[in-house]
Amino acid sequence: MISYRENPANEPSSIASYCLMLADLFEAQGLDAGRIFLNAGLSLSALRGSTGRVPIFQIRLLWQQAVALSGNPSIALGTSRVLSPMSYSSMSIAALSSGSLRGAIDKYVRYSRIVTDAIDIRVEDSGDFTSVIVKNYNEFRAPEAMECCLTSILTHCRQLLPNDGIAPAVIELERDKPSNENLFSSQMQSKIRFSAPGNRLIFRNRDIAKPIPGYCRELETQIVQHCDIMLGQRASVSWSTRARQQILRHLHVGTVSERSVAGGLHTSVDTLRRRLNGEGTSYRALLDDVRRTLAERYLENRDLSIKQISGTLGFANSSAFVRAFRRWTGHAPGIHRQEGALG
């Protein structure tokens, strides 16, 4: 798993529990979540119980595969059926500890970076209405992720006031009008405007000002303090972690090199070497570690040939990959795959 990213030069990431929620969503659609995760270079079993983070490019691959395999462009709307209080770690707990829906929304805005730094959530007040706006950061382009986020906020609001029929006055989505537009309206229980300039939930102020029964200020204070500590911990990321993130990114697009990693971190090769040496590692050691981790995951997917895995990991040919794998593990990748199947 990849650590949190705060500096704009780092690769964006999301918490593991978000990915586990996606696995539940995909399974609910009749998809093989384990296979989808393997195809994205992720081990579903390794994610369970993990406190690590997953690079956004892999999450984008998860969404792309799920839509393609299901043929369902509205797959993210099913989030409401699989969302749990722990899906977004302490952020969702903080939201659910609020004294009002507006308080819950404000916590989504304040603590969203605990969950992901690829999506920006903000609030806009205008007269009698409040808009919750969800935008992409960086190169993350997955409309399903935007709709998953909107659905999650709306679901948590409805969980806080389950008998009040909470519904936005209107929901705006950037996506073009789909053939199943009525499904969007019925699932989100609101009027939908498609081809909008942004993704937003537009609430009436009177609806989100309602007090939450059973609200406990002391509990909210403790949870907020915990979330503030978590945000503070995300602010400092090691050079080796940042370099790993860049290696993953450049492996994905097929351009990994020490120079490309240094460029992604907006520094020189010499500076990168000094920084990594100060942390007791090197570009070559990090590259080997990332390649080995990905290789072991890819080998779990028997649909991927050794040649395909070699190319994906940036090796010139299969022989170079086999030699490297022997150096890492003491045996050939084919034997590793057989042992995994037997285990």
Q: What is the pLDDT of residues 290-316, one digit of tens each?
A: 898 888 888 888 888 999 999 889 898
* pTM exceeds 0.75: no
Predicted local distance difference test score (pLDDT) of residue 9: 36
Lowest mean pLDDT among 89-93, 218-222, 275-279: 275-279
One-letter amino acid of 237: V
d(CA 81, CA 28): 9
Domain boundary, last residue among 198, 213, 233: 233
91 and 151 within one domain: yes
What percent of the chain shows pLDDT beyond 70? Answer: 93
Greater model confidence, 23 or 12 = 23
Predicted local distance difference test score (pLDDT) of residue 51: 80
d(CA 95, CA 210): 15
pLDDT tens track for 142-179? 889 999 999 999 999 999 998 888 999 999 999 998 88
The conformation of residue 316, written as its DSSP 8-state character, comes to: S
State yes or no: pLDDT of 4 exceeds 70. Answer: no
227 and 84 within one domain: yes
- Tell me the sheet residues that pair with 211: 100
Predicted local distance difference test score (pLDDT) of residue 8: 33
Predicted local distance difference test score (pLDDT) of residue 119: 84
176 and 314 within one domain: no
Predicted local distance difference test score (pLDDT) of residue 36: 95
19 in any annotated domain: no
State yes or no: pLDDT of 192 exceeds 50. Answer: yes
229 and 115 within one domain: yes
Cα-based angle 170, 180, 156 (whole degrees, multiple of 5): 45
302 and 275 within one domain: yes
211 and 101 within one domain: yes
43 in any annotated domain: no
140 in any annotated domain: yes
Greater model confidence, 78 or 3 = 78
121 three-class SS: strand
243 in any annotated domain: yes
Greater model confidence, 184 or 12 = 184
d(CA 153, CA 288): 40
Confidence of residue 3 (pLDDT cuts 50, 70, 90): very low
State yes or no: pLDDT of 236 exceeds 80. Answer: no
Candidates 216, 191, 228, 199; CA nearest to 91 is: 228
Predicted local distance difference test score (pLDDT) of residue 284: 92
State yes or no: pLDDT of 138 exceeds 60. Answer: no
Predicted local distance difference test score (pLDDT) of residue 233: 72
Predicted local distance difference test score (pLDDT) of residue 237: 67
**Terminal Cα-to-Cα distance of the chain (whole angstroms):** 23
- Contact between residue 193 and residue 168 where contact means Cβ atoms under 8 Å apart: no
142 and 109 within one domain: yes
State yes or no: pLDDT of 250 exceeds 90. Answer: no
Domain boundary, last residue among 178, 203, 233: 233
Structural domain of residue 297, as residue ranges? 239-342
pLDDT tens track for 56-91? 888 989 999 999 999 988 899 999 999 988 888 889
115 in any annotated domain: yes
State yes or no: pLDDT of 2 exceeds 60. Answer: no
261 and 193 within one domain: no
253 in any annotated domain: yes
Predicted local distance difference test score (pLDDT) of residue 37: 94
The CATH number covering residue 282 comes to: 1.10.10.60
State yes or no: pLDDT of 46 exceeds 50. Answer: yes
Strand spans (E) along 66-179: 119-126, 129-136, 170-172
225 and 99 within one domain: yes
Number of domains in the chain: 2
The predicted model gives 234-245 an average pLDDT of 76
307 and 220 within one domain: no
228 and 158 within one domain: yes
pLDDT tens track for 98-109? 999 999 999 998
149 in any annotated domain: yes
Predicted local distance difference test score (pLDDT) of residue 229: 86
106 in any annotated domain: yes
Domain boundary, last residue among 183, 214, 233: 233
Predicted local distance difference test score (pLDDT) of residue 239: 83
Predicted local distance difference test score (pLDDT) of residue 114: 87
| pLDDT mean across residues, the chain | 86
140 and 259 within one domain: no
- Contact between residue 331 and residue 319 where contact means Cβ atoms under 8 Å apart: no
d(CA 247, CA 258): 9
